[in-house]
Amino acid sequence: MVTTRDLEAHFEFECRACENGHCRKADVETILSERKGLKEFYEAFKEHIKECKRMTYGQYMFVIDREVLPEAVLWWHNHPEFKETHLSTAVGTDERPLNGKFVYMPFLNVQVEPQNMDENYWVFLKAYMPADDPSFPSVAAKLPAALWIEREVKDLLGFNPVGHPDPRRLILPEDWPEGVYPLRKDMDYRHSPMAEVKTEFKEKPEGTTLVPMGPVHMGIEEPAHFRLFVKGEEIVDVDYRGFYSHRGIEKTGEGRLTYNQVLFLAERICGICGYQHSVSYAMAVERLADVEIPDRARYIRTLMLELERIHNHLLWVGIAAHLVGYDTGFMHAWRIREPVMWLVERLTGNRKQYGMNIVGGVRRDILDYRKEEILKVVKQIREETKKFIDIALNTNTFIKRAEGVGILPYKIAKAYSVLGPTARASGRRIDTRLDQATKTAMAYNEVDFKVPVYKEGDVLARVLVRMDELFESLWIVEQLIDQMPGGDIMVPIGDLPEYEEALGFTEAHRGEVVHYVMTGEKNKVYRWKVRAPTYNNLPAVPEMLKGYHVADAPLIIASIDPCYSCTERVQFVDVETGKVKVLTEAEFNELSIKYRGVF
Amino acid sequence: MAESLSYTEKLKKWNRFEVEKFSKKAPVTTPYPFIDIEKPPEYRGIPHINPEKCIGCGACVNACPPDALILEWDKKRGVKRLTFNAARCIRCHRCVEVCPTGAMEPTNIFEIATDNKEDLVEVVEHKLAYCEECGEYLDFTERQIEYVKAILPKEIIDMYALEDRIGLTQEAKMRKTVEKLRETEGNAYPAFILVKKGGEE
Ligand code: SF4
Ligand code: SF4
């Protein structure tokens, strides 16, 4: 039914691994010689590497002993030549139904040459752990970028990161009982036990006063609880407790949905960067199915992604203006943004691009007469934003509050794997759009744009990076409209291979979004892991806050453009969608009719 | 309530940076929800089931990501019930895409706030087909069978002798095939040929 051509053949890469007709079967030597650095790594950890495998184009996996995990991760992260390489995230999987083991697997975004998507690649370091002793030596003890993810696998899967400096609960609520691990496969996704409330806050340092900020952020109006320890006006230390909007999306996706249905869940992870999530997810599945999507679909996706970036940057700059007390700027930024939303509504059927994507392409075509409309909006936005920036950057209220505040030095940004504009404002030259092979799902390789980088690392630099990016995005949209190829907008996807893994990724306006998908039987998803950029940026916020005043805190926190819902993906208890969904749903409806007016 | 300009007209005037740019001031605040808001024709609102066209096939139920559509069988009464709950609907229009008869109709209604949850539920009931042979209801609706008969080419209907067999339950069908096989024991013909003969008799 589906004709699948190899991705490499289509994009004219020289593929040296396809001796058996399928790249995943190529032998070790050829795999290792494909990219720079792989061989070196293999030599360094020879005794501990059990298997090495090429997952898909530009994604390599090493099955490695858990004892050397920290060394292996640090080998990549601190590679002297590959400067911008970072630990992107990790995933914990319960593979007991398959092979009786648990898996912990960090992902590294290896950057051989910045912004060269044919040279860079992803490395998965897969470590198996026996079912009776799921523990591994903590990477976080040496690399803060792993702090949260290790706490996460501890909460959700019951792994034990030995030597973790801060093993408190991160994700699960305070009243969740000990020893119940939601992401283990033997737990039903409808089960939601309760226990005594037990809060774990950081000890207050000697001689400081506690200033609680939260549980709701005053500017972004999302739940996040910061505890600032202050001496006078100065912030000395910070404690963070979040994950109040954990919705258990990953579990739902794994529990009952087919791969096409998961997509509609994926795009609802975030209220403003949903399209990034849906493209990332679709990309991962397309890689697994080994299909190549039509060029027109890639262009339309890129167009939507860039329109999303434009309106999100405007939204953020509005909030930043609001937080410094420059409300005129806030009003104008949001007024300028609105036409983009209307445009998107006409193009996709929803203000927020929801429902536009599907695995294998897009659902609505861009008709030719619309192109003019897009260009008109782009032109208008460019003019208005120029004026707006001119005025905002000449307003003392704004500059005085933003300049020299919340400085994040390059070294800390790297150690925490900070992403996106926050990283670029601190001098990190990263942008997933160009760094990794996004060309299978998006068309960034066919347009020309610059990636703005600033060195200052303060809030102002973050504003400037975003505004520069906004103009680049407008330019990308114009190029896309100009070059839009004809043809189909989607290809059907057949059955997925069983128990294969792949990553999908995009650069959202906050940084790199990563979706890891492992397929199960019957076109279901066995494991789905979402990592939103704020997940990496938020742990670095305490570092930014230290040494500044309490009054600056809301702005500094907002300056990374945090999105709590994305980060926390994640505990809704869904009783009415069981396996026997037909009946339970009906009961639910009957009940709701019966008790109407009662609740 | 003042007569208001159309929403888009107003927004055209809203498109400005300095006040001097526009000559006539238009109020931006509208007395919504007492007036209708203009929606673009492309907007995806909640869908609506057209009971006249629906055949109860359940394609939409399989496609719906959040279980806004559900199917139930009531074999005692001989009905199949399709329920649409707008409160769960995420307006993705997957159902509209997959519906074979165009019974799922797209709308651009987005305001579903109500004080009565019943308003949000649409129910379509279908009669199940009845198998004379064993006196039981089939899984399929009468309309589904009509529809299948209408779209399948004549040859296929003849080949499988569907004219007679389509109205039977799975069990009765199997029993018939077995009977035929018994009659022609030792015969090397594939089963469908036997059935065809049976159909012609
Ligand atoms: S797909 Fe169409 S015809 Fe089939 S049950 Fe749904 S609405 Fe009715
Ligand atoms: S629009 Fe989407 S969510 Fe709503 S009923 Fe149809 S398939 Fe289900």
ipTM metric? 0.75
CB within 8 Å of A455: residues ≥ 6 apart: A410, A426, A427, A461
B44 CA: distance to closest CA in chain A (Å): 5
Nearest ligand to residue B91 Cα: 2
Instruction: Give me the CATH code for the A284-495+533-564 domain, please.
Output: 1.10.645.10
Q: What are phi and psi of B191, to 5 degrees?
A: -60, -35
Q: Which of B82, B94, B112 to mutate to test the pocket of ligand 2 (most atoms within 8 A of CB)?
A: B94
3-state secondary structure A220-243: CCCECEEEEEEECCEEEEEEEECC
Q: Which residue in B15, B72, B91 is closest to A586 by CB distance?
A: B72
Name chain A contacts of B40, Cβ cutoff 8 Å: 342, 345-346
A363 interfaces chain B, CB cutoff of 8 Å: yes
Residue B172 maps to a domain: yes
Q: Does the predicted TM-score (pTM) go above 0.95?
A: no
Q: In terms of residue numbers, what domain contains B174?
A: 46-184
For ligand 2, the distance from its centroid to the CA atom of residue A268, given in whole angstroms, is 14
pLDDT tens per residue, range B121-155: 989 888 888 877 777 777 788 888 888 888 888 77
pLDDT at residue A474, rounded to an integer = 93
Say yes or no for a CB contact (<8 Å) between B70 and A586: yes
Neighbours of A151 (CB within 10 A): 20
Query: Both tokens of residue A476?
Result: 């990308």
The pLDDT of residue B186 is above 90: no
Say yes or no for a CB contact (<8 Å) between B42 and A586: no
Residue B6 maps to a domain: no
Neighbours of A47 (CB within 10 A): 7
**Higher model confidence: residue A553 or residue B83?**
B83
pLDDT tens per residue, range B29-68: 777 777 777 788 888 889 989 988 888 888 899 889 888 9
Distance (Å, rounded) from C-alpha A184 to C-alpha A190? 13
Query: Both tokens of residue A8?
Result: 């490499």
Residue A441 in contact with residue A282, Cβ under 8 Å?
yes
Residue B180 maps to a domain: yes
CB within 8 Å of A10: residues ≥ 6 apart: A292
Closest Cα to atom 8 of ligand 2: B64
Nearest ligand to residue B52 Cα: 1
Distance (Å, rounded) from C-alpha A277 to C-alpha A430? 19
A596 CA: distance to closest CA in chain B (Å): 7
CATH number of the domain to which B121 belongs = 3.30.70.20
The pLDDT of residue B11 is above 60: no
**pLDDT per residue of chain A (599 residues) written in tens, 0 to 9:** 233 344 444 444 444 344 333 445 557 777 888 888 888 888 888 888 888 888 888 888 888 888 888 889 999 998 888 888 999 989 999 888 888 889 999 999 998 888 888 888 999 999 999 888 888 999 888 888 888 888 888 888 888 888 888 888 888 888 888 888 888 888 877 777 887 888 778 888 788 888 888 787 776 777 888 888 888 888 888 888 888 878 778 887 776 788 888 888 888 888 888 899 999 999 999 988 888 889 999 999 999 999 999 999 999 888 888 888 888 889 989 989 988 988 898 888 888 888 888 888 898 888 888 888 899 899 999 999 998 888 888 888 788 888 888 888 898 888 899 998 999 999 888 898 888 888 888 889 889 999 999 988 888 899 899 999 999 999 999 999 998 888 888 888 888 888 888 999 999 888 899 999 998 887 888 889 888 888 888 888 888 888 888 888 888 888 887 777 666 654 332 333 333 333 344 444 444 444 443 33
Say yes or no for a CB contact (<8 Å) between A593 and B97: no
Q: Is B126 helix (H, G, I), strand (E, B) or coil?
A: strand
Nearest ligand to residue B68 Cα: 2
B42 interfaces chain A, CB cutoff of 8 Å: yes
Q: Which of residues 45-104 of A touch B (CB under 8 A)?
A: none
Q: Which of B46, B49, B145 to mutate to test the pocket of ligand 1 (most atoms within 8 A of CB)?
A: B49
Closest Cα to atom 2 of ligand 1: B99
Q: Which residue in B42, B66, B90 is closest to A346 by CB distance?
A: B42
Number of domains in chain B: 1
DSSP state string for A106-133: EEEEE-SSTT-TTT-EEEEEEEEEETT-
A516 CA: distance to closest CA in chain B (Å): 20
Residue B84 pLDDT class (50, 70, 90 cuts): very high
Of A147, A263, A291, A226, the closest CA to residue A541 belongs to A226
Residue B10 maps to a domain: no
Closest Cα to atom 4 of ligand 1: B57
B154 CA: distance to closest CA in chain A (Å): 25
Cα A114 to chain centroid distance, Å, stands at: 20
What is the atom index within ligand 2 of the atom nearest the CA of B60? 7
Domain A24-164 superfamily per CATH: NADH:ubiquinone oxidoreductase Nqo5 subunit (3.30.460.80)
Distance (Å, rounded) from C-alpha A238 to C-alpha A553? 11
Q: Where in chain A is the domain with CATH 3.30.460.80?
A: 24-164
A355 interfaces chain B, CB cutoff of 8 Å: yes
